[in-house]
Amino acid sequence: MAGKPMVAICWLGSCGGCDEAVVDLNEAILDVANAVDIIFWPVAMDFKYHHLEAKRDGEIALSIINGHVRNSEQEEVAKLLRKKSQLVLAFGACACFGGTPGMANFRTKQDVFNWVYREAPTVVNPKRNYPQPKSKVNGKELSLPEFYEKVYALNQIIDVDYYLPGCPPPPDLTANAIYAVVEGRLPPKGTTLAPDKALCDTCNRNATKPSRISLSDIKRIHEVEASPDTCFLAQGILCLGPAVRSGCGEACMNINIPCRGCFGPVQGVEDAGAKFISALAAMLEAENDKDIRQLIEKIGDVPGYLYRFSAPVSALSQKQV
Partner 1 sequence: MSNSEPKIVCFSCKFGWGYLGSEAALSSQVKNWIPIICSGKIDAQYILDAFRQGADGVLVLGCPEGDCHFQDGNVESKKRIYLLQKVLEAYGIEPERVRIELSLDPEGKKIPELVKKMSGTVKKLGPMKVLASR
Partner 2 sequence: MTQNITINPITRLEGHGKIEIFLDSKGEVEDAYWQVVELRGFERFCIGRPVEELPRITPNICGVCPSPHNMASTKAVDDVYSVEPTPAAKLVRQLHYNAFYVEDHYIHFFFLSAPDFVVGPDADPAERNILGVISKVGLEIGKKVIDTRKRCRDIIRLIGSKPPHPEGGLPGGVPRGITEEERKWIKQTADDTVEFAQFALKLFKDVVLANKKYLDLILSDAYKLNVYDMGLVDANNKVNFYEGKLRVVDPQGNQYALFDPRDYTGYIGEWVEPWTYIRLTHLRKLGWNGLIEGDKTSLYRVGPLARLNAADGMATPLAQKEYEEMYNTLGGKPSHHTLAFHWARLIEALQAAEDMQQIANNPLLTSKDIRNMNLRLKKVGIGCVEAARGTLIHHYETNDRGLVTKVNLIVATQHNAAPICVSVKKAAKGFVKGPEVKEGLLNMVEMAFRPYDPCLACATHILPGEIPLAIHIRDKDRNIIRTLTKP
Q: Which of 264, 289, 259, 285 is nearest to 275 (CA)?
A: 264
Residues 265, 237: Cα–Cα separation, whole Å: 20
Binding-site partner at residue 2 among partner 1, partner 2, none, CB < 5 to 8 Å by type: none
Choose which of 228, 291, 294, 315 interacts with partner 2 (CB under 8 A). 228
Q: Show the binding pattern over residues 236-275: x = contacts partner 1 (CB under 8 A), - = does not.
A: -----------------------------------x-xxx
> Which one, 55 or 70, has the nearer CB to partner 1?
70
By the 8 A CB rule, do 177 and 164 touch?
A: yes
For partner 2, the binding residues in 290-319 under the rule CB under 8 A are 300-301, 303-304, 308
Which H helix or E strand runs over 215? none
> Which one, 163 or 263, has the nearer CB to partner 2?
263
Long-range Cβ contact pairs of 173-178 (< 8 A, separation 24 or more) = 173/247, 174/21, 174/22, 174/24, 174/25, 174/91, 175/25, 175/28, 175/32, 177/64, 177/89, 178/7, 178/32, 178/35, 178/36, 178/62, 178/64
138 binding partner 2? (CB under 8 A): yes
DSSP secondary structure code for residue 115 in this structure: I
By the 8 A CB rule, do 252 and 260 touch?
A: yes
Q: Show the binding pattern over residues 49-88: x = contacts partner 1 (CB under 8 A), - = does not.
A: -----------------------x--x-------------
The interaxial angle of helices 28-35 and 171-182, nearest 10 deg, is 20
Choose which of 226, 284, 286, 316 interacts with partner 2 (CB under 8 A). 226
Q: Show the binding pattern over residues 95-134: x = contacts partner 1 (CB under 8 A), - = does not.
A: ----------xx-x--------------------------
Choose which of 129, 204, 216, 318 interacts with partner 2 (CB under 8 A). 129
Residues 131, 133: Cα–Cα separation, whole Å: 7
> Which one, 47 or 106, has the nearer CB to partner 1?
106
317 binding partner 1? (CB under 8 A): yes
> Which one, 2 or 321, has the nearer CB to partner 1?
321
167 binding partner 2? (CB under 8 A): yes
Choose which of 122, 211, 278, 288 interacts with partner 2 (CB under 8 A). 122
Residue 175: helix, strand or coil by DSSP?
helix
Neighbours of 20 (CB within 10 A): 11
| Residues at the contact surface with partner 1, assessed by CB under 8 A | 72, 75, 105-106, 108, 148-150, 152, 271, 273-275, 277-278, 280-282, 284, 286-289, 292-293, 296, 302-304, 306-307, 311, 314-321
